Structures are given as C-alpha cells and as structure tokens.
Chains A and B, each alone.
Chain A
Amino acid sequence: MTETSTAVVHGPKREGVPALEARRLTKHFPLTSLGERGRVVHAVEDVSLALPEKTVTAVVGESGSGKSTLARLLTGLIKPTSGELLLDGSPVGTSARERRAYTSDVHLVLQDPFSSLNAAHSVKYHIERPLKLHTKLRGAELEAKTVELLERVSLHPGTDFAAKFPHELSGGQRQRVAIARGLAVGPRVLLADEPVSMLDVSIRLGVLNLFDELRENENLAILYVTHDIASARYLADTIVVMYAGEVVESGPATQITDSPQHPYTQLLLSAAPDPSRGQAPVLRGKGSPPSLVTPPTGCRFHPRCPFAMPVCEERTPPPLPAGADQVAACWLLAPPTAEAASAG
C-alpha cells in the first residue's frame, strides 16, 4: 500500500504539546480459526491523532469503522501492530510502573453503565477502588474525596449516592458514577466510547453537558466516540470521521457538518435524522461497509462511492486540504495535475 511520507495528525489544533498523541497507529487482529490463519482484520489503519487539553475530539463512524478499536488502542489495553503513543510528548514506556502511571492519566468510560458497574458493590466501593490503587488517601480523607467526586458529576448529595447500589440508580446516574470513577485518578485524558447511546433520550444531553463542563473545569482532553453525528457536532471541537478502519475526513465540528467534503461524510450526514429537512434526503452511496479481512484496494470507500474514478481503485488517497484545518482523504480534492499524472 502506498503511503504518504508525512502523516497528517488529526484532532483539534492547539499551541503546545498535546496531552495525548497517537502516531500512525495501526491495528491488525489476526484470525485464528482453521483455514483463516495468517489472515488479519485490518481494524485501524495508520491513524495519527492529537488530543490537546481542554478539547473534545469526536470520532464518528458506523459499526465496524474501527472507532472503538482506536479508543482501546489509546487506553493501552490492546497493543498496536505499529505506531506509538505519546503522553505529554514523551513515548509511553512498557514497564509495569510506567503502564500504571499511564492508566491513571488516560481513562476509559464505557458504553453500557448497566454492565460496567458491579451490581454487588456500592457506589462508594466503585469510586474508592481507583483511589486506593492510585493514591495514598485513606480513612476520612478517602471518604471526603469520594463524596467530592460524586458531587463533581452532579450527584448531590454525594454521601447519599455513595451508599447506594447500581440497581438503585437510573441509567444517567450510573453513567455519572462511571465518569466519577474515571475522574478519581485525576486523569488528563478521558476516552468515552459511546457514553450516551444506552441512555434515555431525555437524559443524554445532561451527560453530554457534563463532558462539556469537565473539559473546561478539569482541563481534560476528551475523545468522544459516537455514531451520532448530531451529538458530535453539539459537543466536539473537532470531528474525525472513520470508515473501514481509516480516517476519511477531519476538521472543526461545525465545518464538517456544514460543508462535508468526503463522499462518505456526505452520505452519513444525509442519512442522519433531521426534522428541519424539508424533503426526504437522497442517499448517494448505498450498500454496506466492506469486509476488513480483504478491504478494497485504493480508497476503501470506492465500491460505494457515487463519484469513484479509476484512480480510487488503484491508490489510497492521502489526506488532502479541504478547508481551514479540514482534511479529507479523497482523490476528488487532488489538484487536477496530480489526477492527470496518475491517469497518464
């Protein structure tokens, strides 16, 4: 596969060193069943991402686009096939001590608060656990910190909530407990994998607004993984659109939704529910995402793309400038000369 020599780093553009940076992350999952050995699932392909503090980066894509795998790569829970992670500009080490330090700086909030909390333990236990493992707080101090954390995620009064068990809480409250647990270790980076998709519609905004407050008040760098592009627009500074393991477009959130340049982003936006739309949208690019075991050559979107050209099948498009801070990996954006050269 042909690659451009300089990888474009996606994510919000800010001065200084980003809290977390991923350089050219690639993840191939090997297949293990008989007859498929040696083949791999190309889950994430050459993704570079910078998460500066006080920003929210949304990763948007359909199921199988690699967005969750990317979040898990950033946690360090799974090892990338190639590429590296930089925390505050320095590479993340592999020793047990360094790994533990990393887990207290980068925290993951999972999709389903109904299964990510242990039904047999109180809220207090869930919050105290990371505090005991990562800090030296004990006794009254530990309790005070627990209550403070719960109140920071708007669970008032904290003492009452600490004594409750997960089944006594609503979905939104459970997700808040999961976020409070994430905040316990004082992380720099919060990775949220579909944090509101299991919640009731009327309480989703409450949790999204909480992320917004945390970005401001705790200087957090937040990665918001979602399939809902409207909520990404609402919360995020930057939207990164993934398709079949690759980043196809990224840029400032409102810019992406107002003037999408990549055909896939356009397809995604035309399919999203939008009551303000006067008439039924026209979908350009039917079909479904490809197999990641044998991804299409060239641009992975070309079999579905209404604008596909011969070059799309042959070569992977590099990220090309598509607006201020906006890039899209699409040959349509290539200067005419380059296109002519490749055709000739």
Chain B
Amino acid sequence: MSARVTDTDAAPRSPAEAVLDVRGLCVDYGVGRDAVRAVTDVSFTLRRGEVLGLAGESGSGKSTLAYAITRLLRAPGVITGGEVFFHQRSAPGGPVRKVDLLEADARELAGIRWVDLSMVFQSAMHALNPVARIESQLTDVLKRHRPDMAAADRRARAVELLGMVGITADRLRAYPHELSGGMRQRVMIAMALALEPSLVLMDEPTTALDVVTQREILDELMQLRERLGFAVIFITHDLSLLLELADTIAIMYAGRLVELAAATDLAAAPRHPYSLGLLSSFPALHGERVKMTGIPGAPPSLRTMPDGCKFHPRCPHAFERCSAEEPSLLALPGSRTRRTVSCWLHVGDRVPPEALGRPDPGTDAGAGHTQDVAIGGHS
C-alpha cells in the first residue's frame, strides 16, 4: 500500500511541483474594533516531499497559521484575506486539481482533510480520546474515508501503521493513558499517515518529550518521509532542531514571515537580524564557551504593535526607515537558492552589517561586501 506513493514521489526535493500555495494569508482574532491581527500577509509555496520548518516564538502566529491553512481555526479566529491553494492529486501521476481551501465547502474539505492533508497536534494527551482504545481510534479514520474496507483489513492496516512507528500490535487494545508520552505521539503520527496524505502539518509534535524520545521519533519520521514522500510543515520554537531536520526554514515574527531560506543557507548566512538573534540564542554543544546575549527586549503584544518593521525596537541595526515603513518579504537578488527576507538593510545601496551579509554556503563570493557589489552589478 505504501509502495504506491513511493514509486512516483520518490524524489522528495524535486523542485517541479507545488503541493501547497499560500498567498497573502491574514488571520484576525475578534472582529471590528477589538480585532487583533495574528497572521499578516503570509505567502509561501511548499513543494512535494519538502520539509518546511516554521520557527517562531510563542505568539508569533505559527500555530494560528497552521490552523488557518487546515481551516481548523475556531472563533474568535477569522481568516480575513488571502488564498490557500492545495494541489490535489487523485491518483499517482494523475491530473492535479487546484483547490482553494479557503473557498472549499464542508463536503470538499472532508474529502481533502486527512486524505491528502493531515495534522499532528501538539498535545497527544489532548488529541487522543481517553476512553477509546488505540485500535478504534486508528480504524475510525479508515471506516470514515474507506467505507468499502473490511473490518479485518482495517485492523491489519492499523497493525501495519503502528508497526511503521515502532509500536507492537499488542498495544492496539491499550487506552491512551496506558502508553508513555512518546508512544502516544507515535500513535498520533501513525494516525496522520493512515491515508497516505501528501502533506502533514506538525504543530510542536515533540516539544513535551524528552530529548532521547524526541530524537527517536524524529528519526522515524524522516525515514517514513523518505519512504512515503509526503511534505511536512514542522512547527516549533526550537530553531536548532529545525536546522537539522528541515529543507527550508521560515522564520515568523509578530505574525509575519521575516525570512524564508534553505536550512543550510539560513544556518550559515542569516539575512534578517531576528534570524541571526535566534541562531545566537542557542548555546553550542561544542567549542569555546562564549558569552551570548540573545535578543534584548521581548516580542511585541498583538495589541500594541510598533510602527514600521515590527522587530525594530529590538533590532541592533535599526535605522530611521525601519520605524517608519514596514518592509515586505522580497527575494534577495544574486542568491543561488530561493530566499526571501523582509528587512530594509538589504534594500537599495545599503551595505548590510557583516554578520548579515555573509555569503551563502557553497558560493565563491568572498566577504559580504564583495558579494553586495556583485549583486549591484547583476541587477
């Protein structure tokens, strides 16, 4: 069953085909005068098999974004603008249908949710039904979406799913409270993969777990992705984890995407001061012990957003324009890979500070300054 998808989607990094297109998505909490904007004008494209890491601090809107994409947002959350296109492929290699998830009605959504697009929630203890056995929770989704499947086949599939995440079949009869936190999270992942979706959203799936368990689960997840070829949006506040895991990383701050880049590029050469600040907020496991400063100040409250760039009150490189005008997410010219950043430091003739102008890994350009001259010459 699983082999079905593998054959056609084996190349996870194939640049060709998009699976999700988010354009100018805005989400408010509340309506009228009391409304606060939690997600502002977020756009990105996710390709088949890609792992997109969405990093941000609490209140940056990363979970809200995930709930908006899946249309799971509850009142008082309101989607106030934008488009979310899901590229649905009915059969492997078959025609692709473009569905606007924000326009889709309940029937259409039911056909997409879990079949093509599933989600692993943050707290497995709250997402699993405490009074139902693992077996019935796993077969439930098959019963709903594959009505012609026989009961014995459903059970066999449940065993297969648990096996995929390293849980033995005897746990089928267990209740959620009889499993450890790591096992519960594995059940959640197995459930999300039950119908072989092409996109899985994971909202802090391992945050509550110990590091060893976290590592085991992530290893399994990455192996499964290699095999089944699904795309992942992985939401976490732990940027150091994403750097190891993701193909592409999107950094969110105050409801906006501030930088989008390949994980290797972001790690070696961040372009946004907030990305740089986040990267230097994780003490290293090796090397010289150096004093680190993190980022001064605290993230803004949604009610009292600063003018201009939302990061400027905490930014060490802020200048006049930052407090007056809000930068938009623009592609960086001259980059080898697609990367975008919303920061005035990279617009116009300005030479960005050295730490933000490092050359992309793999390019031959020397110091940041030289590279900028080259950019000017080309454009």
| A202-B57 in contact given A209-B291, A271-B215, A280-B244 (Cβ < 8 Å) | yes
B280-302 with Cβ < 8 A to chain A: 281-286, 289, 291-296, 298-299
Q: Report the minimal beta-carbon distance from A264 to chain B, rounded to whole angstroms.
A: 9
Give Cα A288–Cα B241 distance, bound, in whole angstroms: 21
Is B123 part of the binding interface, using a Cβ–Cβ cutoff of 8 Å?
A: no
| A233-B238 in contact given A201-B278, A205-B294, A271-B215 (Cβ < 8 Å) | no
Contact with B along A208-242 (1 / 0, CB 8 A): 01000000000000000001011101100000000
Residue numbers in A under 8 Å from B283 (CB-CB):
205, 230-231, 233-234
Residue numbers in B under 8 Å from A315 (CB-CB):
none
Residue numbers in B under 8 Å from A267 (CB-CB):
212
Give Cα A205–Cα B295 distance, bound, in whole angstroms: 8
A274-292 with Cβ < 8 A to chain B: 274-277, 280-281, 283, 285-286, 288
Is A309 part of the binding interface, using a Cβ–Cβ cutoff of 8 Å?
A: no
| A205-B293 in contact given A172-B298, A229-B285, A271-B215 (Cβ < 8 Å) | yes
Residue numbers in B under 8 Å from A15 (CB-CB):
none
Asked if residues A233 and B285 are in contact (CB atoms below 8 Å), the reply is yes
Is A200 part of the binding interface, using a Cβ–Cβ cutoff of 8 Å?
A: yes
Asked if residues B216 and A234 are in contact (CB atoms below 8 Å), the reply is no
Asked if residues A203 and B182 are in contact (CB atoms below 8 Å), the reply is no
Q: Report the minimal beta-carbon distance from B249 to chain A, rounded to whole angstroms.
A: 11
Is A157 part of the binding interface, using a Cβ–Cβ cutoff of 8 Å?
A: no
Residue of A nearest to B55 (CB): A201
Asked if residues A204 and B294 are in contact (CB atoms below 8 Å), the reply is yes
A97-152 with Cβ < 8 A to chain B: none
Residue numbers in A under 8 Å from B212 (CB-CB):
62, 267-268, 271, 283, 285-286, 288
Residue numbers in B under 8 Å from A283 (CB-CB):
212, 215-216, 219
| A206-B267 in contact given A257-B285, A273-B244, A280-B244 (Cβ < 8 Å) | no
B210-237 with Cβ < 8 A to chain A: 210-216, 219, 222, 237
Q: Report the minimal beta-carbon distance from B304 to chain A, rounded to whole angstroms.
A: 12
Residue numbers in A under 8 Å from B240 (CB-CB):
230, 273-275
Asked if residues B244 and A288 are in contact (CB atoms below 8 Å), the reply is no
Is B239 part of the binding interface, using a Cβ–Cβ cutoff of 8 Å?
A: yes
Asked if residues A276 and B294 are in contact (CB atoms below 8 Å), the reply is no
Q: Report the minimal beta-carbon distance from A166 to chain B, rounded to whole angstroms.
A: 14
Q: Report the minimal beta-carbon distance from B181 to chain A, rounded to whole angstroms.
A: 8
Give Cα A275–Cα B289 distance, bound, in whole angstroms: 16
* Number of residues from B at the complex interface, CB < 8 A: 38
| A202-B299 in contact given A273-B241, A275-B244 (Cβ < 8 Å) | yes
Is A258 part of the binding interface, using a Cβ–Cβ cutoff of 8 Å?
A: yes
Asked if residues B289 and A254 are in contact (CB atoms below 8 Å), the reply is yes
| A230-B299 in contact given A201-B238, A206-B294, A283-B215 (Cβ < 8 Å) | no
Asked if residues B299 and A268 are in contact (CB atoms below 8 Å), the reply is no
| A202-B285 in contact given A272-B211, A283-B215 (Cβ < 8 Å) | no
Task: From the candidates A200, A205, A233, name the one contacting B58 in the complex (CB within 8 A).
Answer: A200
Q: What are 6 of the A-B contact pairs (CB < 8 Å)? A: A62-B211, A172-B298, A205-B294, A234-B289, A234-B292, A270-B215
Contact with A along B28-68 (1 / 0, CB 8 A): 00000000000000000000000000000110000000000
Asked if residues A257 and B292 are in contact (CB atoms below 8 Å), the reply is no
Give Cα A200–Cα B277 distance, bound, in whole angstroms: 13
Asked if residues A274 and B57 are in contact (CB atoms below 8 Å), the reply is no
Asked if residues B282 and A201 are in contact (CB atoms below 8 Å), the reply is yes
Give Cα A201–Cα B285 distance, bound, in whole angstroms: 16
Residue numbers in B under 8 Å from A227 (CB-CB):
210-211
Is A170 part of the binding interface, using a Cβ–Cβ cutoff of 8 Å?
A: yes
Known: A201-B237, A205-B281, A209-B291. 16 other contacts (CB 8 A): A62-B211, A170-B298, A202-B294, A205-B292, A205-B294, A230-B240, A233-B285, A233-B289, A270-B215, A273-B282, A274-B286, A275-B267, A276-B284, A280-B222, A280-B244, A283-B219
Give Cα A178–Cα B238 distance, bound, in whole angstroms: 25
Residue numbers in A under 8 Å from B180 (CB-CB):
288
Give Cα A170–Cα B377 distance, bound, in whole angstroms: 46
Residue numbers in B under 8 Å from A202 (CB-CB):
57, 277-278, 281, 294-295, 299
Contact with B along A172-184 (1 / 0, CB 8 A): 1100000000000
Give Cα A341–Cα B293 distance, bound, in whole angstroms: 53
Asked if residues B286 and A203 are in contact (CB atoms below 8 Å), the reply is no
Residue numbers in A under 8 Å from B291 (CB-CB):
209
Q: Report the minimal beta-carbon distance from A60 to chain B, rounded to whole angstroms.
A: 10
Asked if residues B296 and A272 are in contact (CB atoms below 8 Å), the reply is no
Residue of A nearest to B296 (CB): A206
Interface centre among A233, A273, A285 (most CB of B within 10 A): A273
Minimum-distance CB pairs A-B, first 4? A205-B294, A234-B283, A275-B243, A170-B298
B105-137 with Cβ < 8 A to chain A: none
Give Cα A209–Cα B182 distance, bound, in whole angstroms: 32
B230-282 with Cβ < 8 A to chain A: 237-241, 243-244, 267, 277-278, 281-282
Q: Report the minimal beta-carbon distance from A286 to chain B, rounded to whole angstroms.
A: 6
Q: Report the minimal beta-carbon distance from A78 to chain B, rounded to whole angstroms.
A: 23
Asked if residues B219 and A280 are in contact (CB atoms below 8 Å), the reply is yes
Asked if residues B298 and A173 are in contact (CB atoms below 8 Å), the reply is yes
Residue numbers in A under 8 Å from B284 (CB-CB):
230, 274, 276
Is A269 part of the binding interface, using a Cβ–Cβ cutoff of 8 Å?
A: yes
Give Cα A203–Cα B241 distance, bound, in whole angstroms: 18
Residue of B nearest to A234 (CB): B283
Is A297 part of the binding interface, using a Cβ–Cβ cutoff of 8 Å?
A: no
Residue numbers in A under 8 Å from B215 (CB-CB):
270-271, 281, 283
Give Cα A234–Cα B58 distance, bound, in whole angstroms: 23
Q: Report the minimal beta-carbon distance from B237 to chain A, rounded to whole angstroms.
A: 5
Give Cα A286–Cα B278 distance, bound, in whole angstroms: 31
Q: Report the minimal beta-carbon distance from B32 to chain A, rounded to whole angstroms.
A: 24
